[in-house]
Amino acid sequence: MKVRLSSLIAGAAVAAALTTGVGGQPAAASVARFSGPISQIQHVIIIMQENRSFDSYFGTYPGANGIPMQNGKPLICNPDPTTGKCVRSYHEHTLITDGGPHDSPNFKVDLDSGKMDGFVRSAINGGGRPPEVMAYHDSREVPNYWSYAGRYVLQDEMFSPSTAWSVPEHLYLISQWSAYCSIVGDPTSCRSAFSCCVPQPGGYAWTDITWLLHRSGVSWKYYVFSGMSADVVNPGADGGVNGIYERQDASSASFWNPLPLFADVIADNQLGNIVDGKGFYADAAAGTLPSVSWVVPDATDSEHPPASPAVGMQYVSGLVNAVMAGPDWNTTAIFVTWDEWGGLFDHAVPPRVDWGGYGFRVPALVISPWAKRGYIDHQLLSFDAYDKFIEDAFLGGQRLDPLSDGRPDPRPDVRESYAGLGDLLNDFDFSRGPAAPMLLRNARVILR
């Protein structure tokens, strides 16, 4: 389902009274930006790819918490109930492979009470190709990602924020919650839920981080590459490697582009900040990148199985190269990650932090002239840490907290304040000058 911006604008009045502030009062005044070393970062860019587990890309990266090995062979296997055999992790040269079911019920099957041995079973039940969920790639298939890890920062404890599929993960990315709201535009009507469908305008009525950014005059853009978005929760039911795809563009609400349906975005007249992805290159070249950017691909470049990891890597490298070649490089932090595991094997048991997560680990990189060189970050992280970093860099530490953010909603907890959450500042070294860019040749610019 898609909702056009003309419909969103028509629904803006419904939400406006509920997003101007508590009791109709004006929103709170801007808060001071943090001073000190973090002030070197004036641009935060989050590049969100699709459906890969940490072990599927970095399971054999030296020094990382990867696939347990003995004498160069994986120790862990998943039983195949149809053959009675156990399928071990294995290196896969082929780029076009299948994933597995990746909704919350299949998360529980994969997890199997912490045994981490249900991935093959889920793939069989979902109609996929079971052995391929145990496959992993390395520097031979995704060399640029390994190069970024070697030069900058690799995070090996980045857990997806929920146990569900793409829509909840993208909602958590921008708002730290996934909910169902029974009344359009009314945040008090929202209750915790894994959203399954794209609602009507204002249907995402709780507060997202753009509310805080707009209130404090912090610029932001959500770059959406036009094309198709994948909807493959169950590979068998959704057509296996062919999948089911829907149109995606900046003017439409879709699985990877939920912001147009947030009531506060509509009421703040910020729909124009959701823009075509091609504009990212021009903004990077002109030095006009906003303070905060999110970048989402179309299906071809997303790495969502069966999309090629190499094609997605070239697209990501093109984005990174554009920043590195532009005037904003010395003041930028780029975070690259993948929204959820896509049914692919990972051996690490995720911690339980609240009703919704965490989900399984995903790959994650930090690319910046201020990033520690060749560093592996073993801190516990999730997408909550991105918002925490943004809030610390631009909002004086204000959190998406209904008790203090000026727009109360009934979210059950404040994810950014979780005591076990790591701090992304640990991935930076501000004691030296900014490092020179590392432009990689295996890159593409998307102009279609």
What the chain holds in terms of domains, given with CATH numbers, is 3-52+140-427 (3.40.720), 57-136 (no CATH)
- Rounded Cα distance between 426 and 366, Å, is 11
Residue 235's pLDDT is what? Answer: 55
- Residue 303 · residue 142 · CB < 8 Å: no
Tell the burial category of 249 from Cβ atoms under 10 Å away from its Cβ (0-12, 13-18, 19+).
buried
| pLDDT per 10-residue tile (average), the chain, 448 residues | 36 35 34 64 97 98 97 93 94 93 94 97 87 97 98 98 94 97 96 84 97 98 92 52 71 92 97 98 98 96 94 98 98 98 97 97 98 98 98 95 96 96 96 95 89
- Rounded Cα distance between 194 and 179, Å, is 6
Indicate the DSSP class of residue 81: T
- Rounded Cα distance between 356 and 363, Å, is 20
**Tokens linked to 182:** 């029974």
| Distance linking the first and last C-alpha atoms of the chain | 23
Residue 300's pLDDT is what? Answer: 93
DSSP class per residue in 402-442: TTTSSS----S--GGG-TT---GGGGB-TTSPPPPP---SS
The pTM of this model reads: 0.91
**Tokens linked to 258:** 């939920």
The Cβ-side half-sphere exposure at 221, using a 13 Å CA radius, reads 21
- Residue 178 · residue 357 · CB < 8 Å: no
Element (H, E) at 150: helix 143-151
Q: Kindly report the backbone phi and psi dihedral angles of residue 427, in degrees, each rounded to the nearest multiple of 5, phi listed first.
A: -90, 5
Strand 77-79 and strand 375-377: the pairing is unpaired
Residue 196's pLDDT is what? Answer: 66
Strand 227-230 and strand 245-248: the pairing is antiparallel
Residue 87 makes CB contacts below 8 A (sequence gap 6+) with: 77, 78, 79, 80, 120, 130, 131, 134
- Rounded Cα distance between 355 and 352, Å, is 8
The alpha helices in 304-398, defined as continuous H runs, are 309-324, 384-394
Of 75, 69, 82, 157, the closest CA to residue 384 belongs to 157
**Tokens linked to 357:** 């997560």
**Tokens linked to 233:** 């929760």
Residue 287's pLDDT is what? Answer: 97
Residue 36's pLDDT is what? Answer: 64
- Residue 62 · residue 150 · CB < 8 Å: no
Of 446, 61, 27, 63, the closest CA to residue 211 belongs to 27
Residue 242's pLDDT is what? Answer: 42
Neighbours of 371 (CB within 10 A): 22
Residue 228's pLDDT is what? Answer: 84
Residue 232's pLDDT is what? Answer: 57
